[in-house]
Structure 1
């Protein structure tokens, strides 16, 4: 069953060790687990939505510290996500219905059963989809990516910034190409994943890069507001699958 789920789950994101958003989800799940355990032993009352305000606020505050241990916490995302979703549903059911989260309550045992089964079934496909191990990914041997514009420490004018990215040891294709249409070498006709301040940016190259005639350098416009920014670029296989080791570059710059 696990292998079937893995085969049906595409890789939709790869952040690897240190992914902040994955660490945050893990921390939230662990916080919800503590709340549920306290409710089961009678230390936290969950009879209405109002009863959840303080516990969930505490979970949010504690979870904000997740980036301090994101390198380790992010590795648990496959277990923590189904656990956290199940625990949150259990708390909402306890708050909105006559059912209680007590040691002998069927709700408690139902939540425990669903959380356990969900974690066992979904751990592998979620790990493959969100946090794939390096040996699952295509190998990067020579490729390097460089942010030519902007560079670390630059001060630029706010507005439209024409970003320039260069790749050596590989080439850049149009992106989002089916695997069967790509060259055998995963570093040829590759793609770019761009994030600005931890938010994914969909870009359109000014150059006409194709699988048959890929590019070494591409440029694309993005909108930049005044303030400090971090631009991150990852070179991937042409269908968006990350390479191992990851091929990345970043620039921290100021717009004014």
Structure 2
């Protein structure tokens, strides 16, 4: 992944890459314009900026914005307040959303020759772009360079254990939604979300083990509330220094 290599193209010419990251950049730059998959009725294009690149002694990281959407059916877009039709959507109109993708490529060290990287995909509600992105990448690598790209989903528990450590955690952001789901309860004095932020954290081994177990349970979907100091929070954001 981190060494120069040459690959043969379809016209028998050779293409040189300084490392695997240049191959991903080639994919991003070749997908700047919109493409459509009429079988799945989904669109795709990338917006890559060289400024969204960072590098440390341990890894290189790229941040890319992906635009993807669905099409193929007509509908009416109405105003949720007035119930008036604002727009009549045609079957050729594409309901496009932006998503962020982070590509992380670890560097070799004295003990390990790295052969794996990591994709971190943003989801927006029920929408995501993991499948269409990885499929297009695999086809691009194979068709143009004869390279096989294998993608596997990382188990949430493994991801948490690898990324979150006691020495790199910067802050906990915990959110408790105390607003009632019953609209009748919200007439008059209303309530919002309670946010609690804790930084400059310092834990002994016993306390850290307890907190880490709770984070792993929430991340793995085994428990949908994060408990901290006898308070339960419905949303947890862990900010780490990677």
TM-score normalised per structure 1:
0.24
Structure scoring higher RCO (CA < 8 A, sep ≥ 6) equals 1
Q: Structure 1 or 2: larger helix share?
A: 1
